[in-house]
Amino acid sequence: MFQVVQNLKTGKTELIPLPMPMAKRNHTIIKTSHSLISSGTEKSLVDFGKSGLIGKALSQPEKVRMVLDKAKTDGIAATYDAVSSKLDEPMQLGYCNVGTVIESDSKIYSPGTRVVSNGKHASMVRVSDNLIAKIPDNVKDEEAVFTVLGAIALQGIRITKPTMGELVVVTGLGLIGLLTVQLLKANGCKVIGIDYDSQKCDLAKSYGADVVDLSKNEDPISIASNLSKGQGVDAVIITASSKSNDIVHQAATMSRKKGRITLVGVVGLHLNRSDFYEKELTFQVSCSYGPGRYDPFYEDNGNDYPYAYVRWTEQRNFEAVLDLMAERKLDIESLISYNFALEKAGDAYHKLDEAGVLGIIINYPDKDVKEIRSSVELSPIETSIKKNVQVSFIGAGNYASRVLMPMFRKMGAGLNTVITSSGITAVHHGKKLGFKAASTNIDDAFNKSTDAVVIATQHNLHASQIIQAIKSDIHVFVEKPLAISIKDIEEIERHQKKSNSIIMVGYNRRFSPHIQKIKSLIDMKKMPKTFIMTMNAGFIPKEHWTQDFNVGGGRIIGEACHYIDLMRYLAGSKIKSFDAIKINSSNIEDVDEDKAIITLQFECGSIGSIHYFANGHKSFPKERIEVFCDGSILQADNFLKLSGYGFKSFKKNSLWRQDKGQQACVKNFIDSIKGNCPPPIPIDEIFEVAKITTEIDSKLRNS
Q: What is the pLDDT of residue 77?
A: 60
Q: What is the pLDDT of residue 60?
A: 56
pLDDT band at 130 (very low <50, low <70, confident <90, very high): very high
Calculate the average pLDDT of the chain. 90
Mean pLDDT of 312-327: 96
Mean pLDDT of 493-501: 93
Q: Which carries the bigger pLDDT value, residue 607 or residue 593?
A: 607
Q: Which carries the bigger pLDDT value, residue 356 or residue 642?
A: 642
Q: What is the pLDDT of residue 384?
A: 43
Mean pLDDT of 160-182: 96
Chain centroid to Cα 44, Å, comes to 20
Rounded Cα–Cα distance for residues 444 and 439 (Å): 7
The most distant pair of C-alpha atoms in the chain lies apart, rounded to whole Å, by 92
Mean pLDDT of 294-307: 90
- pLDDT over 70 (residue 285): yes
Q: What is the pLDDT of residue 375?
A: 82
- pLDDT over 70 (residue 271): yes
Paired with 28 in beta bridges are 104, 127
Spell out the domains of the chain, with CATH numbers in brackets: 2-146+294-363 (3.90.180.10), 162-285 (3.40.50.720), 375-507 (3.40.50.720), 509-702 (3.30.360.10)
Q: Report yes or no: 375 and 441 within 8 Å, Cβ to Cβ.
A: yes
Q: Which carries the bigger pLDDT value, residue 368 or residue 442?
A: 442
- pLDDT over 90 (residue 561): yes
Cβ neighbours for 28, distance < 8 A, ≥ 6 positions apart: 101, 103, 104, 105, 106, 109, 115, 117, 126, 127, 128, 129, 132
Q: What share of the chain is helix, strand, coil (3-state, %, to 5)?
A: 40, 25, 35
pLDDT tens sequence across 46-57:
666 555 555 545
Q: What is the pLDDT of residue 385?
A: 42
Q: What is the pLDDT of residue 383?
A: 45
- pLDDT over 80 (residue 351): yes
pLDDT tens sequence across 71-127:
665 566 656 566 666 666 788 899 999 999 998 888 888 999 999 999 999 999 999
Closest among 658, 556, 572 to 611, alpha carbons compared:
556
Q: What is the pLDDT of residue 688?
A: 97
Q: Which carries the bigger pLDDT value, residue 696 or residue 381?
A: 696
Residue 534 phi, psi (nearest 5): -115, 130
- pLDDT over 90 (residue 312): yes
